[in-house]
Structure 1
Amino acid sequence: MKSALKISFIAVLLITVTQLHSQKKFKANWESLSQYECPEWFRDAKFGIYTHWGVYSVPEDESDWYGTYMYTEGHPNNTTHKENYGDPKEFGYKDLVPLFTAPKFDADEWADLFVESGARFAGPAGEHADGFSMWDSKANPWNSVDMGPKRDIVAELETAIRKRGLKYVVSLHHSWLWGWFPTWGENTDCANPANESLYGEKVASSAWRVEGERGYYKVDPMPSAKFEKLWLEKVKEVVDGYNPDLLWFDNRVQILSEKVRQEMMAYAYNNAAKNNQEFVLTFKRPDFPLGTGTVDLERNRMPDIYPEPWLTDNSISKQKWIWHKDLKCYPTNNLIDDLVDIVSKNGNLLLNVAPHPDGTIPEDQKQRLREMGQWLKLNGEAIYETRPWLVYGEGPTETKTGHLADMHFDGFGDEDIRFTTRNGQLYAIALGWPKSNVLSVKSLSSTSFNGDIKRIELIGSKSKLTWEQTKTSLNIQLPSAKPCEHAFVFKIN
């Protein structure tokens, strides 16, 4: 008996030692960081949710860039601020912080909604561009535990989301803080050295605001060593304190020195390895080299199948990321079609929702998330755990490409079809219901597809389908009744 126990102990010890040796050790250089591998859970998950919610939500105005635009003379946010709060010289962004009390925020209620939507990963914006941390920060006195809500928002959502079996996301946008507030001026509270801990150190001028589609890409002067140190400390606090499964970075991280960017990635990857955690780090190009993390596109998507998993972050509203009184949401049909298109190209969708300043998620946004969940409950086998087919799809609609391109995209039509596969099963997903009641799939014509089609099912329909495969297309006769309200999934054997 003792001998058997001894052998078992040695076996366990050997396995443990092997696992420790097999863990990758990342060094702070691009070659070592290119060991990164996107985990299977992300490849399988396909759909996640995050939130733009913070001090910038309080004015209920039209821009998540309120903090910078409120100081820009003549900008609508500047005008609104003067009407509601007075001159920003007297009532600055710091004075909005006590108004962000979030009296109705309920992390469990949010998490239940995320589950109902069919999302597989979810979480908050940990810090936006405004320098206010939504966690119990020791590096930053402007945080949600010491001020505003007096609650650790990142911690509460971590507990609620993980309790429901979802992967946890934290997004970080804080590289934008460098030059976000007009610290170069003399006539605002931003220039007061007493407020530097929120607004950042004084910079020479606003010269960095002159180029790029959004107007914030040229940076002169570049960030100081002091700024970089605080930026890194904030990332480490999130990594050490909350161990997110997915750490998401907004663009403009490339303004930081290569050394700091490399140190951050190595720290996050080694922390995950230490915890045996399957970790994802997403970034926008050109902040990090390809292969060192997972690529994210903002309001944009790949034009074709991309060989590595990738992410699109888009919002539930076509124009806005945060709540305001006139927020208009995409129709549910557009959101589902976008998800299908992105998944067919080997991507995942991270959908932003915009909570009300009081901490509730408005009903029109809830409705869309619930409708997405209902669709996924019926058709999820064609989305979750799928992989791309030989081609992503067909149809006349071309998606636009480039940063923020989806803001100028009006959606798909009845002739657009997307393909996915799962365990050898092919799915053809029609993004509309043809008026002719015949779905023609050119990619499965007898001259394009060398294979026997034995059976075709329409998920959610009990009708037996008939079809004909010709030299130009596979023509499927549709039943008289639709099985659901949105994209229609055909299971082809």
Structure 2
Amino acid sequence: MKINRLTIVVLCLITGVSCILPENNQVKEFEPTFESLSKHKAAPEWFADAKLGMYFHWGPYSVPAYGSAWYPCNMYIKGSDVNKFHEKNFGPIEEFGYEDFIPMFTAEHFDAEDWADLFQTTGAKFAGPVAQHHDGFAMWDSKVNPWNALEMGPKRDIVGELFESLRKRDIKTLATFHHARNGQRNANTPEYWGRNGFNSHYPYHPDLPTATTDPKLRKLFGNWENIEDFNQYWLDQVEEVVDKYNPDILWYDSWLNMIPEEKINEMLAYHFNSGLKNNQEVVVCSKHQDIPLEIGIDDLEQGGRRDIYPLPWMTDITLSQSKWMYVEGETYKDAALVVRNMIDVWSKNGTVLLNISPRADGVINQEQRDILKKIGDWMKVHGEAVYGTRPFKIFGYGTATADDASHDGQSAKVKYTANDVRYTVAKDKKSMYVFFLGVPEGGEQIKMRTIGGFHRNLPPSPIKNIKLLETGQNIEWKLTPQTLIINMPEVEYNPIASVLKLELE
């Protein structure tokens, strides 16, 4: 049996034995092998403490503001809704291709300082852009990719400007990559011609513009002469971002499994060694465990988990009801829905990556800003119950169900109420926090049987006092062998979520 970091962690959790795992400072240089890479600490303390990050889908696909971030793909599928919209509004795809949106992606209102302020006031501890989506357009100053934001479109280094502003505020930096899907893999499979969803983002057909052999344009469509050349191009772009900007987190969308393992290992070693060189505790995240859990963080898109997970994990969610990029007429989740679902994630050892959607001109509309302000106002008051905390023995209890279930049986749009309760514990175990995911009823007596001694879920040490975190008001309580009895005072409760602080001995 191969003993690795994950095996050790699971055994320690089962036996209750304290784990001492190798730290990055014991490694002089990482090699592109599993044995070497697994010595990297997947979730450093700062990441486990951070709880909330923010990013944004923004690029030439934002110009039409229609459909989804898959507009570049769908516009080339003859007869599709997006194709019809495109040809009606911009002309035939043979005359107006995706590349023609790039000059219209002006970003004239992009203000890195303002955006960094917005992320900070929302409560994010790390942030950054979609560095490259499936469309093949790089949002940084690239010498590798000729299709980049400094050379065309905004004619600005979006990644560089934003990272500089974030670091002024001590916010960790994130670059997300979705370009594994950009490589054209269907040129030799006629049964997939003209379709999407099969290995490559852009549909391929000899008669489509995406089949171009133009030396520059083919790079946008990922249409290389052979996939091995694309795989190196994929790696070269990531390494360029690591060299130029030293991101704290590299995050990968689905389809990373399309990249050969040796290229992924080269990328990981490059990122980790850059961290060693720059004295950074860097992180890598991926979906579907495309990067082993011994090495990176697992991300569940728009989802969650039914129970506490033994390792730190992440979910990426979007502020809009369903879209990731800006779409005309899109509606957004209210702050209460977002925060309550984030609390559920935090109670289960998770971290949230929240997406917003700027317009092509660089405006983050007021509706999104208003929601983010409400989230930030709540975080300012209740942050001590979130940042730097860890899960309790159980995540909580309640009656809410995930009608729109995804992944591990959860979703990002569960409608919680005050009957749903979640727990976190301070790292020093001097405090425990009780979240009501709704508005409690004043004068109500709550019997919190999940904390009663009968259920063996007592706090880490005896309770000294219980306070309403928002006001500091003392709460009447009594702990019996069967239950914790709490008498909720007649006060005006927070409309998003109320938190009780259990002060422990």
> Does the pair score TM above 0.5?
yes
Tell me if the contact between 2:181 and 2:258 (Cα under 8 Å) persists in the aligned partners.
no
Q: Indicate the residue corresponding to 2:446 in structure 1.
A: 439
Deviation of residue 483 (structure 1)?
A: 4.2
Tell me if the contact between 1:108 and 1:157 (Cα under 8 Å) persists in the aligned partners.
yes
Q: Which amino acid aligns with 1:385?
A: G
Distance 1:229 1:155 in 2: 23
Distance 1:96 1:239 in 2: 28
Q: Indicate the residue corresponding to 2:159 in structure 1.
A: 154
Q: Indicate the residue corresponding to 2:98 in structure 1.
A: 93
Deviation of residue 100 (structure 1)?
A: 0.4
Map 1:340-355 → 2, pairs under 5 A: 340-355=343-358
Q: Indicate the residue corresponding to 1:111 in structure 2.
A: 116
Structure 2 unaligned segments of length 5 or more: list them.
1-22, 185-199
Q: CA RMSD in A?
A: 2.1
Equivalent of residue 454 in structure 1, options 464, 476, 479: 464
Deviation of residue 276 (structure 1)?
A: 1.1
Q: Which amino acid aligns with 2:437?
A: L
Say if 1:459 and 1:67 are closer, same or farther in 2 by CA, change over 3 A. Answer: same
Q: Indicate the residue corresponding to 2:62 in structure 1.
A: 57
Tell me if the contact between 1:117 and 1:370 (Cα under 8 Å) persists in the aligned partners.
yes
1:189 aligns with 2:209: yes
Equivalent of residue 198 in structure 1, options 211, 214, 220: 220
Distance 2:202 2:56 in 1: 26
Say if 1:265 and 1:462 are closer, same or farther in 2 by CA, change over 3 A. Answer: closer
Distance 1:20 1:85 in 2: 52
TM normalised by structure 2 equals: 0.86
SS in 1 for 2:175: strand
Tell me if the contact between 1:62 and 1:322 (Cα under 8 Å) persists in the aligned partners.
no
Q: Indicate the residue corresponding to 1:139 in structure 2.
A: 144
Q: Indicate the residue corresponding to 1:212 in structure 2.
A: none
Number of equivalent positions? 456
Q: Which amino acid aligns with 2:96?
A: F
Tell me if the contact between 1:459 and 1:483 (Cα under 8 Å) persists in the aligned partners.
no
1:67 aligns with 2:87: no
Say if 1:462 and 1:231 are closer, same or farther in 2 by CA, change over 3 A. Answer: closer
1:411 aligns with 2:433: no
Deviations 1:285-320 (A, max 9, x none): 241222111111111112211122111111111311
Q: Indicate the residue corresponding to 1:242 in structure 2.
A: 245
Say if 1:24 and 1:285 are closer, same or farther in 2 by CA, change over 3 A. Answer: farther
Deviations 1:199-254 (A, max 9, x none): 12268xxxxxxxxxxxxxxxxxxx71101010000000110000001111111111
Distance 1:452 1:160 in 2: 44
Deviation of residue 413 (structure 1)?
A: 2.2
Deviation of residue 76 (structure 1)?
A: 2.0
Equivalent of residue 478 in structure 1, options 479, 485, 488: 488
Distance 1:191 1:405 in 2: 40
Map 1:171-186 → 2, pairs under 5 A: 171-179=176-184, 180=200, 182=202, 184-186=204-206
Deviations 1:9-28 (A, max 9, x none): xxxxxxxxxx9983442111
Structure 1 unaligned segments of length 5 or more: list them.
1-18, 204-222
SS in 1 for 2:454: coil
Say if 1:419 and 1:172 are closer, same or farther in 2 by CA, change over 3 A. Answer: same
Say if 1:20 and 1:405 are closer, same or farther in 2 by CA, change over 3 A. Answer: closer
Greater mean alpha carbon deviation, residues 324-333 or residues 468-477: 468-477
Distance 1:28 1:404 in 2: 31
Deviation of residue 486 (structure 1)?
A: 1.2
TM normalised by structure 1 equals: 0.88
Deviation of residue 197 (structure 1)?
A: 1.9
Map 1:17-56 → 2, pairs under 5 A: 22-37=26-41, 38-56=43-61
Q: Indicate the residue corresponding to 1:374 in structure 2.
A: 377
Greater mean alpha carbon deviation, residues 43-52 or residues 27-36: 27-36
Say if 1:440 and 1:53 are closer, same or farther in 2 by CA, change over 3 A. Answer: farther
Q: Which amino acid aligns with 2:205?
A: G
SS in 1 for 2:110: coil
Distance 1:21 1:121 in 2: 23
Tell me if the contact between 2:437 and 2:496 (Cα under 8 Å) persists in the aligned partners.
yes
Say if 1:199 and 1:325 are closer, same or farther in 2 by CA, change over 3 A. Answer: same
Q: Indicate the residue corresponding to 2:434 in structure 1.
A: 428
Map 1:381-392 → 2, pairs under 5 A: 381-392=384-395
Greater mean alpha carbon deviation, residues 71-80 or residues 194-203: 194-203
Equivalent of residue 258 in structure 2, options 251, 255, 269: 255
